[in-house]
A and B are shown apart, each in its own frame.
Chain A
């Protein structure tokens, strides 16, 4: 069964460093998403991406964040200068155009020290 894969599974970084989280969506999907879950809190929508541009984003997704589809398979989330409060589990998801179901990856845990 096709699945969304994410790397790394866990990353530890120093505050102020740049981090790139990578995702390989399901191959025939056209919509891509990032969600995050701070420990003990709700899963929160960050951004959706379609046709090489952001289609929707939440207020969490500020100028420190960016997304990119650098090639035909990867979808990345970049955090330019990490803060302590960026520590969270980041989930990538993808869907077909009707978006009746989002398929999530296993998550990348980011720890900012």
Chain B
């Protein structure tokens, strides 16, 4: 079975500071990994995905994530936080080459302080 663990249910950063949201995965097969964002009163939106190509993946809104097999991690980063980044972020894993059956982490609520 595959799973992801998100460390920190709540993260607060100051505007302009580095954003680091942690995700570790467990998988018996090469995983496909995803980060989704949920803004208040909206659906889940794909930020980026890792599908065994480049280990550093760039997504929308200046976010990127690096797949590190040795650490079984797929942490999400952004160099400089913006107020509009405040949202809930979900890491997810899929056993196949598609997003068809995602297993989500428990989510990290990001607060950006002025």
Contact = CB atoms under 8 A, between A and B. Distances in A.
B109 to A, nearest CB: 11
Contacts of B90: 43
Interface residues of A, number: 25
A63 B42 CA distance: 29
A42 B107 contact: yes
Nearest to A105: B43
A31 B96 CA distance: 15
A44 B104 contact: yes
B43 A107 contact: yes
Interface string B35-47: 0100001111110
B42 A101 contact: no
Contacts of A45: 101-103
A82 interface: no
Interface string A35-54: 10000011111001000000
Main secondary structure of the interface of A (DSSP, over half): strand
B42 A98 contact: no
Interface string B92-109: 100000111111111100
A113 interface: no
Contact of A101 (B43, B46, B104, B105): B46
Contact of B102 (A4, A102, A105, A107): A102
B81 to A, nearest CB: 24
Given A105-B43, A106-B41, A99 B104 contact: no
A35 B42 CA distance: 15
A105 B99 CA distance: 16
Contact of B106 (A4, A41, A101): A41
A4 B103 CA distance: 20
Interface of B: 36, 41-46, 49, 51, 90, 92, 98-107
Give the 9 A-B CB pairs with smallest separation, nearest first: A99-B98, A104-B43, A104-B44, A43-B104, A99-B100, A106-B43, A102-B99, A105-B43, A42-B106
